[in-house]
Structure formats: C-alpha cells, structure tokens
Structure 1
Amino acid sequence: MTQRFKSLLGSNPELRPLLTKAQALSALQRHFTAVAPPYLAQSGQVLSLQHGMLNVAAANASVAAKLRQLAPELVVLLQNRGCEVSGIRVKVQVSCAASPPQHAPRRLGKTALDALGDLGSRLEDSPLKRALQKMIRKKG
C-alpha cells in the first residue's frame, strides 16, 4: 500500500480496522509465498484467516489438490514463522490465478523455411503463395 493511502486509513478511526486487517492479510500472503513451493505459491492467494483456519484460493483443481496434500506441512512452517494458523482450507477460484506463463514464440528452423520457400516457388500466383512468401519474410 502506498504511504498516503495507509495514512488516510490509519487516521480515520472507522477505517483503521480495515488497514490492520489488510496488513495482516498481506503479511500472511508473504509468509505463505515463502513457505509454499514456488509453483504453488504463485497459484495460491490467501483469502482470510478465521479462528486459526487459513483460507487459500487455488488457481485450479490440481493446485488445490497439491495444497491440500501439503497443508499439514505448510501449517507447521507457518507456525514456525509466528503465524497463528491451525489449519488450511483450500478453495478453487479460477479467477485468482496469476497470468498464464508466457511462452516464447516458436521459430521455424532453416530447413522448414527452405521447404516453405521451395513450395512457394512451385505454386502459381495465389493467396497461398503470397501468404507463404510473407511468412518466410517475417520468419527469415
């Protein structure tokens, strides 16, 4: 949170509990991210802590299953960090997922480009031939 926003929430007695809760959830998220395996931490979001039960949203069912499997171990690790957590409840919330990993665009190899060039040279003038030539110019 920005300092200006924090000071606004902190100076208003009615909003101060909101700031306290937001800071507590932010700290829990940092602890969760630190103790969970990276591939699970990036796909899980701390939702709340109620009566010692940490509620975590998982990006998909497989992440949820793995988090449920690791829950006892994660509880111990969180307790070792001073968190008052007695259990973890996992819910699947697809919308909580981080953006999908970006894959680098695949490049055509020289052999493939040569084969496409040969094909293009044997075709009569057509939209297909022009599309092949354009693709070869872009990829080459």
Structure 2
Amino acid sequence: MSRFSPISRPGAPRATGAARSPGGSRKSGAPRAPQLLTEVLSRTDAFAPLRAGVEQIAAIQRDLGALLPDYLATSIEPGFIKDGKLALFAAHNALAARLRHLEPRLVADLQARGWPIDGVRIRVRPQAVKEPPQPKQARMTPVGAAALATLSETLPPSPLQEALAKMAARHLRRR
C-alpha cells in the first residue's frame, strides 16, 4: 500500500488537467514552473482560511525576527494563536529555556505591535539532524610537504615543531 494518493504519484492518471503519456510526462511539453504559495491559495475561496493563517504566521515570523536575537529568531518557528496563546516551537531545549526567560518582554513587545496575545506556549520541535561536514581532503604537493619537513627540522622542540613534522609526514606518506 502506498502512502501517496494515486493522484500525487507521477504517471498516475488524473481526473483533470493535462493528459499524460505512458511515461508519465506531460504531453504539452514543458514542466510546470514553481508557483508562490500565496498565488495558489488565492485561486479559490476554499483556501481563504488557510491563506489567512499562512499570512498570520509569516507576519509573526517577521515580528519575531525583529524582536529576538538572530540566534533565537532563526531557530524559532511560530504557530497559530489559540485562546490568546501564541505557540512557539524551539529547535531544542536550551533555546526553549532561553525563550522562557524572554517571554514576559516578548509578549509585551508583540502586544505593542498589535498581536492579540496574553502569553506564549513554548514547545520543543527538534529539527532534522544535519549531515556532518565532509572531512577535509586538502592535498599538498611533494615540494610543499618537503618544505614543511625541512622547516620542522630547523625549529627548536615545541608544539609547533611537532605539528609541522606530523603534517609533513602525513602528506609525504600519501605520495
């Protein structure tokens, strides 16, 4: 059983829209261009409540960006206002704790900007783990590695001399 509806799968027959060839591509030629979310939501009145919610969250996000320090503003996602409480989602517990310290001032500042809130509800929503950066793959020419080895031999014993000798040996060994 697929977790996608038959309409959302490429190549699946559609009830409306352009006809598809057996390979799943559009017969009309070029693929559709990306569209702005606000443009899609403004096409019909059925999406009016959703559009209002999206616009509200975007406006709250802009205000939070102006009121909070950069490290907090980029790691906080606003939610909807429900029963006078604004839902805020922090990336991890440390940011949530910091946000709780700023809560009274933040509520006052948002009220001053016209938001009808009397408090915030802070929740932790972990973000996806980012892939670790690839290890450095720096390459050094044999001449450069030999120059480092020579330099390390001329220096008196020290942490710098040991580091240069180790680096020269590692790059000479690769060759």
> TM-score, normalized by length of structure 1?
0.69
Q: How far apart are residue 38 of structure 1 and its match? A: 1.7
% identical equivalent positions: 29
Q: How far apart are residue 11 of structure 1 and its match? A: 2.7
**Alignment partner, residue 123 of structure 1:** none
**Alignment partner, residue 42 of structure 2:** 10
Bigger relative contact order (CA 8 A; separation at least 6): 1
Task: Give the distance between the partners of 2:62 and 2:120, measured in 1 at CA.
Answer: 16
**Alignment partner, residue 106 of structure 2:** 74
**Alignment partner, residue 61 of structure 1:** 93
| Contact 1:44 1:96 (8 Å CA) reproduced | no
Inter-CA distance 73–134: structure 2 relative to 1 (3 Å threshold)? farther
Q: Which has the higher helix share?
A: 1
**Alignment partner, residue 41 of structure 1:** 73
Q: How far apart are residue 4 of structure 1 and its match? A: 5.0
Tell me the SS of whatever aligns to 1:16: helix
Matches within 5 A, 1:1-140: 4-95=36-127, 111=160, 114-116=164-166, 120=169, 131-133=170-172
Tell me the SS of whatever aligns to 1:15: helix
Backbone CA RMSD of aligned residues: 3.2
Larger CA deviation: 30-39 vs 109-118: 109-118
Q: Which 4+ residue blocks in structure 1 deviate beyond 2 angstroms?
A: 2-8, 109-114, 131-135
Q: How far apart are residue 49 of structure 1 and its match? A: 1.2
Provide structure 2 residue ranges, at least 5 long, that are not aligned to the other structure: 1-33, 139-147, 152-159
| Contact 1:56 1:89 (8 Å CA) reproduced | yes
Provide structure 1 residue ranges, at least 5 long, that are not aligned to the other structure: 121-130
- Letter of the aligned partner of 1:51 in structure 2? D
